[in-house]
Structure 1
Amino acid sequence: MLRRELLLAGAALATLPSLAARAVPQDVLVYSYPRNVGPLHPHGYAPNQMFAQAMVYEPLVRYVEGGRIEPWLATGWAVSDDGRTWDFTLRQGVTFTDGTPFDAQAVKANLDALVADKAQHGWLELIAQIQAVEVTAPDRVRLRLNDPYYPVLFELALIRPVRFLSPAVLARGEAGFAPVGTGPWRLVETAPGEHDRFVRNETYWGSRPAFAELLVKVVPDPNTRALALETGEIDLVFGSDQLSAMAFQRFAADPRFACAVSPPLASRNLALNSGRSPTDDLKVRRAILHGVNRQSLVKNVLLDLEEPAETLFARNFPYTDVPLEPFAFDRALAQALLEEAGWHRPEERAMRARDGQPLELDLCFVGSDAVQKALAEAVQAELRAIGMQARLVGLDESGMTARQQSGEFGMIFGDTWGAPYDPHSFMSGMRVPTHADFQAQSGLPMKAEIDRRIGEVLVETDEAARRDTYAWLLTILHEQAVYLPISYTTSSYVAGPRLKEVGFGPTVNEIPFESFRPSSAAL
C-alpha cells in the first residue's frame, strides 16, 4: 500500500510543473494548501480560507489556549451592569498596511458594514445583537446590544467576520477591494492554481515574523503533497486533513522531520438529513449510528491519531458535559431497526429495498481532503454491511457549501468548529441554512422549538437556566440521531529540516506562522 501511495504521488508530481525543483531563499517559508486562499476579505466566507484571513486581519480580543480571552487590538474593556453596553479601549499606534490608522472610526466602519449585511452573517448572533456602534473617543468604542448576550468576547475573537479592513479600502466598495489589515502578514501575489505569496508586515505593531516571506503552494493531491515534503519542495504540512494518516506515520518515523499532534480541538461528525428520504426516518438514522463502528474508523483510518467521539461536542467545552448514552456499535440492532422501518433484504448481503425503492443515499465529502475521503470509503463499507448503499460524492469546497445549504445530501461531513465557537456560535448557526445543520435538522418535528431555545440560551443571564437549556438541546439532538460522531479532531504538522520551533495555534483554523523559526541549517 505504501509503495502504491508513493508511485501515485510521483505520477501526480510529474503533472505539476509548478513543483519543479528550484532554490528557495533562506528567509522564505514554503507551505502547501489544496487551493488558493481566495480574495481574503475579512468579512467574507468561502472561498476565503480562514488560516490566511487570520494572518492578515486581527480581532479586538484573542482566544488563547485554556479558554481565556486576552486583549489584542483592544487593550481593555468594561461591561455595564445590565450586560447591554460594552466599552473597549483600543491599542494606540497601530496602522493598517496602507498607512491608515487603526482607531475607533475604523472599528465602527467595519462593524457598521457587518450590521448592514445581516443576511450574510445571520448565523452569528452577535451581529443581530448589535444595536449601535458609537465612537466615544479616538481610541474608545462602545457597543450597544439588544440583550445581555453572554458570548460577546468569544465571538469578537473569531477569525471571521469580526475583523478589520482598512476603512480606506472599505469605502471603495467591492470593486476597489484589496486585502489590507493590521496583521503580521500581507498578501502580495496570487497565481490561480499555483500559489499565494505573503510577505512580512514590516510595520507590524507586535513581534514580526522571523521569515520574510511565506509561499503557499497549491497542491490539491495529498500524495503529491507528501512527496513534495519528502523531496524538500515544501517545508511544512499543517493540518490533519492535509496528509493521510499513513503518510503522517511514515514521516513520524523519519528523523529528518519533526511531527506533532495537537490535543483535541473540535469534533468530526457526519450530519444526517432528517428532511430527506431515507434518513427522514428516525429508525434509519439510529440504524446508521449503530451500524458504523467508530472504534474501527479511528483505528484503521485515523491510525489512532484521534480519539473516538460519542457525542456532538467533546465534554470539555462550556455546557457540554451532559450525560448521554452513546450509540454503541451493534450491527444486529442496526439491521433490526431497518427491518422495522420496512427496508428488507431479498437475500443475504443484498442491498435493502422498500416498495421497490433501494435503500441508498449520497454521502458528500471534500474530494481533496485525504482524511474525509478515507473515512467516507470506510463508512460506505460499514453501511453496505447492513444493506445500505452510500453513493460517495467528492466535491470541491464551493460544492460542499452549496450542498450543505440546499440540503442535497443524505450524509455530509459537518465538523464542529472548536474553540471559541463551540457550543454557542456553532449552535447559533443551526438556525439558518448556511451550514449543514439547518438542513440536517429540517425534518425534526421539534425544529422550531430547537431554534427558539437556541435563541433564548444565548441571552440567558441565569447560569442554571442556561445550563438546563443546553442540556435539553444536546439531549434532543442526540436522541434524534442527527449526527454521527466519529472522532475528536486534532491538528497535526510535519516540518522539514529547514524549520524549528513549530507549534499549534489556539484554535483549529489558526497557524501561527509568525512564531515559526528557521533551523540553523537554513541560515
Structure 2
Amino acid sequence: MKKIGLAILALVVIGVGFYFSSSKEEPKAEASKKSEQVVTFANFRDIRDLNPHLYAGELYAQNMLFESLVHIANDGKIEPWLAKEWKISDDGKTYVFKLREDVSFSDGEKFNAKAAKANFDAILSNIKRHGWLESVRLMDAINQKGGEAVHVSGEYELTLKLDAPYYPLLVELSVIRPFRFISPKAFINGTTKDGVSALSGTGRYVLKENRKDEYAVFEVNPNYWGTKPELQKVVVKVIPDNQTRLMALEKGEIDLIFGVNMVDSAAYNKFAHLKGFGGVMSEPLSTRMILLNTTDAITGDLNVRQAIQHATDKETISKAIFAGIESPADLLLSKNTPYSNIGLTPYAFDRTKAESLLEASGWMKVEGKKYRQKEGRELAITLNYNSNNVTDKTIAEFLQGEFSKIGMNLNIVGEEEQANRDRMKAGAFQMVFNISWGMPYDPQSFLAGMRKVVYGDYLAQQGLHDKALIDDTILHALEST
C-alpha cells in the first residue's frame, strides 16, 4: 500500500470548527428569536438536491431530514436507530434487522420492512452510481446470481444478504448517504435515481422553505418518533464570501459558522478569544492533501513525486497558515482513524534530498534559467485549487515559493468548485487539492473510492505499475473480518 502515498501528498489533519455568538445585550428581535429556539448559520452554497440516494446535496441538510437503520455514536460504536436490533450470521454474509414499529415518514407513510426494501432496491437499481461502495457491489452480486439481496422477512423485519463478508457494512449503513430512507410515495417511476417528488423522511426536521442561493428553513418534524430537538427552527443563509460571513457573525446576523474550509485560522483565533464569541474544534476527522497525477509526463516520474514530498514543509504550513489548528499530516490518515496507526515512516522535509531526486531524473539547473531544465523543457507543474476554499490559495502560494527554491515552477490556478471537481473526476490535472472523506467514511469508503472513478484518487493512481495490486489489496482489506 505504500505506493498510494506516492500519488497522494498529505498536508495537514483537519478538525471541524464551530463559532457561536453569546452576546449578553441583544436586540428585541434577537431575544424573540432565541425564545423561539431558532439558530441561524451560514454556508457558502445552497443546500442543492437533497435526494438521500444521490450525492449532490449538503450532508448536514440530508442528515436533518433522513435517517438510517443504525447510528454511529460519538465513541464510534454502532447503535440502534430505525432498526432496534440486528443479528449477523456466523459466516458474516446475512444481516437480519428488527425495525422500530412506531416510525412514519413526514408525509404519513408508515416506515416498515416493505418501505425499507423499496429504498434499498432503489439504490441497487442505480449500480452505476453506487457501485464504488463495496456493500452495494456485494448485494448486487447476490441479485445477479438470481438471489434476493434485500428481503422482507416480516412486516418489521428486513434481511440483507452479501456475496462475501464485509466488516464495514454497519458503518456504511449508518453514514448520511446513500443508505437513508425516503417515503416510497416520493419515488418517481418507482425509483429515486431520476429524482424525487418530495423530501419526506423520518428525521427530526422537515424542509419548510428553500429560496435557492439565499436561504433554507428547517422546522421540527411534528410527527417525529423520537425525542424532539430543542431547536424549533434552523435557518441556513447562503453567504459565499468568507469576509461577508465573518461580518454577519460579528453583527449577529448569524449565530455560528460551521465546517471545514468555512473560515481561516486567523478568523478562528480572533473569534475564539473575542468577548461574546467562542470556538470549538473537534479531534482530527480528515486529511487535507494534494493528488499527484501519475499519468502525467512530469508528475508520472517517481523521483519528481518524491522530490515534491521532501520539498513540502508541512510543519510551516501547520504553524504559519493554520496557527497550529491543523497539525502536520505525516501519513495519509490520522492515527485516530481506525486501522491507521501502523507505524509507517513519513517523508522528511529535506530540500537537499528533493534536489538530488530531481537531478537523478535529469532535471538540471541551467545557467541563466530560474527553473530546472530537461531536454530544453522547463520543470513546470500546475496546481489547481478550489477558489471557494478559504485556505487553498494561501497554501498554493506558499508551495509556489517553496518549490521555486528547488528549481520547480509551480503554476497555481484557482477555479470554481464544480469546475475543480469536474477536473478531478476527468483526471485533467498534474496536482490538485483533495481531502479525505473524514470519519466515519475513513478509511473504508475513502479507500473503496480509489477503486472506481469517484473523485480524483483513482485517476491519479493510473500511472502506477502496481495499480491493479493496490486495488486488489484494498478489496481484500474491505472483505477481511
TM-score after normalising by structure 1 = 0.81
1:269 and 2:269 matched:
no
Change (3 A) 1:23 1:348: farther
> C-alpha separation between the residues in 1 aligned to 2:434 and 2:421?
10
User: Displacement, 1:41?
Assistant: 0.6
Please point out which of 131, 149, 166 is paired with 1:149.
Answer: 166
User: Displacement, 1:348?
Assistant: 7.6
Change (3 A) 1:22 1:407: farther
Aligned to 2:150: 133
Please point out which of 207, 210, 213 is paired with 1:187.
Answer: 207
Map Cα deviations across residues 304-323 of structure 1 (whole Å, 9 max, x no partner): 00221101112232322222
Aligned to 1:14: none
Aligned to 1:302: 322
* Equivalent residues of 1:53, 1:159 under 8 A apart: yes
- Structure 1 segment 433-472 matched on structure 2, within 5 A: 433-461=453-481
> C-alpha separation between the residues in 2 aligned to 1:252 and 1:289?
33
Tell me which moved more, 75-84 or 197-206.
Answer: 197-206
User: Displacement, 1:64?
Assistant: 1.5
Could you tell me which amino acid in structure 2 is paired with residue 360 of structure 1?
A
* Equivalent residues of 2:51, 2:196 under 8 A apart: no
* Equivalent residues of 2:188, 2:197 under 8 A apart: no
> C-alpha separation between the residues in 1 aligned to 2:46 and 2:367?
49
* Equivalent residues of 2:384, 2:414 under 8 A apart: yes
- Structure 1 segment 47-446 matched on structure 2, within 5 A: 48-130=57-139, 131=142, 132-172=149-189, 174=194, 176-347=196-367, 350-446=370-466
User: Displacement, 1:298?
Assistant: 0.1
Structure 2: 5+ residue runs without aligned partners?
1-26, 143-148
* Equivalent residues of 1:349, 1:385 under 8 A apart: no
> C-alpha separation between the residues in 1 aligned to 2:462 and 2:259?
32
User: Displacement, 1:171?
Assistant: 4.4
Change (3 A) 1:207 1:325: same
> C-alpha separation between the residues in 2 aligned to 1:42 and 1:86?
22
Extract structure 1 runs of 4+ deviating beyond 4 A: 21-24
Map Cα deviations across residues 415-446 of structure 1 (whole Å, 9 max, x no partner): 21222222121111100011111011110000
> C-alpha separation between the residues in 1 aligned to 2:133 and 2:95?
18
* Equivalent residues of 1:90, 1:140 under 8 A apart: yes
Map Cα deviations across residues 247-306 of structure 1 (whole Å, 9 max, x no partner): 111111212102111111122211111111311000000000000100000000010002
* Equivalent residues of 2:188, 2:195 under 8 A apart: no
Matched residue SS, 1:76? strand
Could you tell me which amino acid in structure 2 is paired with residue 80 of structure 1?
S
Map Cα deviations across residues 357-391 of structure 1 (whole Å, 9 max, x no partner): 22222222221111223222222222222222222
> C-alpha separation between the residues in 2 aligned to 1:193 and 1:456?
43
Aligned to 2:20: none
Map Cα deviations across residues 382-416 of structure 1 (whole Å, 9 max, x no partner): 22222222222323332222112111111222221
- Structure 1 segment 33-48 matched on structure 2, within 5 A: 33-46=43-56, 48=57
* Equivalent residues of 1:114, 1:121 under 8 A apart: yes
User: Displacement, 1:23?
Assistant: 4.7
Change (3 A) 1:143 1:281: same
* Equivalent residues of 1:361, 1:409 under 8 A apart: no
Tell me which moved more, 344-353 or 201-210.
Answer: 344-353
CA-atom RMSD in angstroms: 1.8
Could you tell me which amino acid in structure 2 is paired with residue 90 of structure 1?
L
* Equivalent residues of 1:39, 1:179 under 8 A apart: no
User: Displacement, 1:349?
Assistant: 7.7
Q: Give aligned pairs, total.
A: 440
Map Cα deviations across residues 448-476 of structure 1 (whole Å, 9 max, x no partner): 11111212222224xxxxxxxxxxxxxxx
Structure 1: 5+ residue runs without aligned partners?
1-20, 462-523
Change (3 A) 1:60 1:336: same
Tell me which moved more, 297-306 or 385-394.
Answer: 385-394
* Equivalent residues of 2:104, 2:202 under 8 A apart: yes
Could you tell me which amino acid in structure 2 is paired with residue 51 of structure 1?
Y
User: Displacement, 1:95?
Assistant: 1.0
TM-score after normalising by structure 2 = 0.88
Could you tell me which amino acid in structure 1 is paired with residue 62 of structure 2?
Q
* Equivalent residues of 1:404, 1:434 under 8 A apart: no
